[in-house]
Chains A and B, each alone.
Chain A
Amino acid sequence: MTGKGDTVRGTREMSMPLAPDWRLLPTAVRAVVIVALTVACVATPGFFSLPNILSLLTTVSFMGCVAVGMTLITISGNIMSFSLGATAGAAAMVFIVAVNIGGIGIGLIAALAVAALVSAAQGFAVGWVRANPIIVSIAAVALIYGTAEIFTRHSSIYFKPGTGIEILRGKLGGVPLEFVVLLCVTAAGQFILYLTRFGRNLYMMGSSFRAAEAAGVKTWRTVTGAYLWAGAFTGLAGVMLAIRYDGANMDYGVGYEYDAIAAVLVGGTLMKGGHGSALRTLAGAMIIAIVQAMLLLRGFRQEWQYLFTGLIVFAVILLHSSGERR
């Protein structure tokens, strides 16, 4: 079909309301968001100061690791897990207990193993029994909280003196260690999603469960795998929380799952599954962290941060849905 033949030789023009090309919408929104954020950052006094940047990079790392894990679950078509925040809190406590007993190495292994197993068990329930992922994660929150509170009798736990944990509170080339970990986790997530068979199976399952099954994907293993990795990444977030705050209780993990869901959504990963990436989630996490840091600098209290995060998430959901309706 040549370009010339396309000209409309109509007897009359139908009245067409301004018809925007909806495929350009995401690009347009991205441009607006980047410009608006840059302007707001420049206009916020103290935003580009070293202490602020460092604290921004540190705080985004906790939430970012959880969010990358959440991305795997979302892409696999299982929407989200509400239990990752509680898992992070539990991992932080396991880490401290194990470090006190056997040193940093043992602590790391124990924390990651517990977090991965707790999450993988939920994945098994979702993949094998075909339980609803949201319901399973809500039940898991209660189980994790209950178990942890029974053991700690609702108190915080701390490192023994002389564990040498202080050295992990440093920087690598001027960048907080936490942020380096986040970059590694993002790279690992991206590698899993794009370069492994498991990763491709996640996308296939997320875009059509029945087709994946008919194509011979071992669906329950794939789902369990997604939750296992999500748990491991969340465990890392918990370990970092314990190190940074020099102690842990179950309240440390509160709210991370919500921020992580927000990061996944803002990054543009679709809630229906089969589409998204770890890099997108990193971008989403950065946007949310920047907005929160800015609000803090401008003297808004915590409540306002919640409100703004909620508004952003809501706007993104509306945007995604309007894209799907066309």
Chain B
Amino acid sequence: MPEVLSVEGLGKSYTGVRALHDVSFSLGSGEIRGICGENGAGKSTFVKILMGITQPDSGSIRIAGRARDIPGPRQAQGMGLGIVAQELSLAPHLSILDNIWLGSAGVPLLHRRQALRERAQKALDALGVGDWDLNGRVGALTMGQRQIVEIARLLARDTQVLILDEPTATLSDSEIERILAVLRELKAQGRSVIYISHRLGEIFELCDTVTVFRNGECVATKPVQEVSREGLIELMLGRPFDEMYPQHHANPDARNALVIERLTVPGMVHDFSAVAPRGKILCVAGQIGSGAAMVTRAAAGLLPDAIGRLTLDGKTLRLGSVPHCVARNVFFLSEDRASEGLFPPMKVLDNLVATRLYAHAPLGVLSWRALRRIATDLAERVGVDRNRLGTAAVNLSGGNQQKLLFGRTLERTEPGVLLMNEPTRGIDVGARAEIYRLMRRLCDLGYALVMTSSDLEEVVGIADIVVTMYRGRTVARYEGERIAMSTILADITHPAEQAAR
């Protein structure tokens, strides 16, 4: 396998903090390489250097055998390197064609649109989606289809090495299958792929080899056949791996629960009923667009047009009013932490106490001493370093940000209800295990937990009760031993068989 990219002794430090140290890496043509590592392990610094966004302090890069400097993203493009970033960079109001050529170095000022159209069409053909309308607006596409447009964009620029950074984080299972198929097609054409993901299942399914980053160093590169799932996690953590999902040992208080009856959100959820007992984790499983995420949003009071009946411990919970829910200790944790959870520029302290200002503000005047004491205590309980209370929340890692949001919901006079969408999205394997332990601790305290997740492994691992949904309707309900990945997958993807059953 000829080498397309090789890196020797790459190092990078940011104002005294070592982000990357002596990394060597080589990639053959037609190879799909997985990259794993916890947040902060150096994956993104490595990618930024390859894309010319940051410059390394030391080391050398060879592309197709020639030593190269990558001074900027445009030059990286010219050398055949391209990235599909986590945050898609498409313009929704432009057509697929325009998006494919947007920002391309290969488009001269005076160009023949027909030639561009032909080349774009070829790129779509190569991905097996030649029937798409190049004039169609990108805004009308699903997230998975947009991902494919991003990949087509790289092909049209004759990219030899495609870097994908968590491409499947926001996709549903069928869309993920499609992306994986597209990537295999690229491999067959002799292109190389660097695939960064927290989802180990995809690494094993797709990749030829896997490289593990830890603390800025490249600790191992192995063919995927030679490494087990547990072995891979241990390589990432650098220590033996005990158990990802803690034991279920709750003693549910059957009389007290969050009861959802005939919840309907026009156009999104139809007639949803479920019981979330205190001390248990109820998981609403469904693909993106199935309405699962809307159930939790509606219960949190975020959807004004939701109708139905909710009771908590026998008392009615008003729909459509977040302040009312917060007053009853019903909290929502969004899948979109950056824009619907955190107050990014504000301090960790401010973020922790955001929902408890009422309790510590007699006549509206705050007692900062009490708030500081509470924040310190909360930080300790959820495992955020208490010395970081003064830093801006935006500077924390994804895992710490999520712990912070959990912290907001703790230490009440009575245990509450947590409504969570994708509680571990974008969180690395170490922090993820901590989040699961935290969820179990909340159960033990008598909280009722309702979550949605598109990660089936997580659903099976953590849930006590699973309700599956398809296109806004409930498919089935499982509890305890009856929770199995295959039936859940069938429920959320194959509606016809379900209807027949």
Contacts and interface: CB of A to CB of B under 8 A. Distances in A.
Contacts of A218: 323
A8 B58 contact: yes
B342 A211 contact: yes
Nearest to B300: A214
A212 interface: yes
B354 interface: yes
B343 A207 contact: yes
Contacts of A320: none
A12 B339 CA distance: 41
Interface of B, secondary structure class, is: mixed
A201 B357 CA distance: 9
A11 B366 contact: no
Interface centre among A12, A210, A211, A217 (most CB of B within 10 A): A211
Interface string B261-300: 0000000000000000000000000000000000000001
B345 A197 contact: no
A105 interface: no
Given A207-B344, A214-B340, A1 B60 contact: no
A203 B346 contact: yes
B201 interface: no
Given A10-B58, A14-B56, A198-B364, A274 B339 contact: no
Contact of B345 (A10, A196, A274): A274
Nearest to A3: B16
A307 interface: no
Contacts of B408: 215
Contacts of A1: 16-18
Interface string B311-334: 000000000001101110000101
Contact of A11 (B15, B17, B18, B59): B59
Interface residues of A, number: 34
A211 B341 contact: yes
Given A11-B59, A196-B364, A196-B366, A210 B343 contact: no
A303 interface: no
A8 B346 contact: no
B367 to A, nearest CB: 9
Interface in A1-31: 1, 3, 5-6, 8-14, 16, 21
Contacts of A11: 9, 58-60
A30 B373 CA distance: 34
Contact of B365 (A13, A196, A201, A274): A196
Interface centre among B302, B357, B366, B368 (most CB of A within 10 A): B357
A275 interface: yes
B455 interface: no
Nearest to B340: A210
B57 interface: yes
Interface in A200-230: 200-201, 203-204, 207-208, 210-218
A214 B11 contact: no
B18 A214 contact: no
Given A6-B16, A274-B345, A195 B355 contact: no
B350 interface: yes
Interface in B13-35: 13, 15-18
B338 to A, nearest CB: 8
Contact of B364 (A197, A207, A216): A197
A213 B302 contact: yes
A215 B355 contact: yes
A210 B357 contact: no
Contacts of A201: 357
Interface in B335-391: 336, 339-346, 350, 354-355, 357-358, 361, 364-366, 368
Contacts of A274: 343, 345-346
Given A11-B9, A214-B341, A218-B323, A197 B18 contact: no
Contact of A12 (B58, B300, B325): B58
A216 B343 contact: no
Contacts of A210: 336, 339-340
A275 B343 CA distance: 11
B13 A8 contact: yes
A9 B346 contact: no
A204 B365 contact: no
Interface centre among A12, A13, A197, A214 (most CB of B within 10 A): A214
Contacts of B300: 214
Contacts of B326: 215-216
A214 B330 CA distance: 11
Contacts of B17: 1, 6
A195 B365 contact: yes
A3 B18 CA distance: 10
B55 interface: yes
B339 A208 contact: yes
B375 to A, nearest CB: 13
Given A8-B57, A204-B354, A211 B364 contact: no
Nearest to B336: A210
B414 to A, nearest CB: 17
A268 to B, nearest CB: 13
Contact of A204 (B9, B343, B358, B364): B343
A211 B366 contact: no
Contacts of A211: 334, 339-343
B361 A8 contact: no
Contact of A216 (B57, B325, B336, B342): B325
B150 to A, nearest CB: 24
Interface string A87-103: 00000000000000000
Contact of B350 (A9, A200, A213): A200
B13 A6 contact: yes
Contacts of A13: 57-58
A200 B351 CA distance: 10
B361 A208 contact: no
Given A16-B55, A197-B358, 5 more contacts: A10-B57, A13-B57, A211-B343, A214-B302, A275-B345
Interface of A: 1, 3, 5-6, 8-14, 16, 21, 195-198, 200-201, 203-204, 207-208, 210-218, 274-275
28 contacts: A1-B16, A3-B16, A6-B17, A8-B57, A11-B9, A11-B60, A12-B60, A13-B57, A14-B58, A16-B55, A21-B15, A195-B368, A197-B358, A201-B357, A203-B350, A204-B343, A204-B350, A207-B343, A207-B344, A207-B346, A208-B339, A208-B340, A212-B343, A214-B302, A214-B334, A215-B408, A216-B325, A216-B326
Nearest 9 A/B pairs, CB to CB: A10-B58, A216-B326, A197-B361, A207-B343, A197-B357, A210-B340, A216-B323, A8-B57, A216-B322
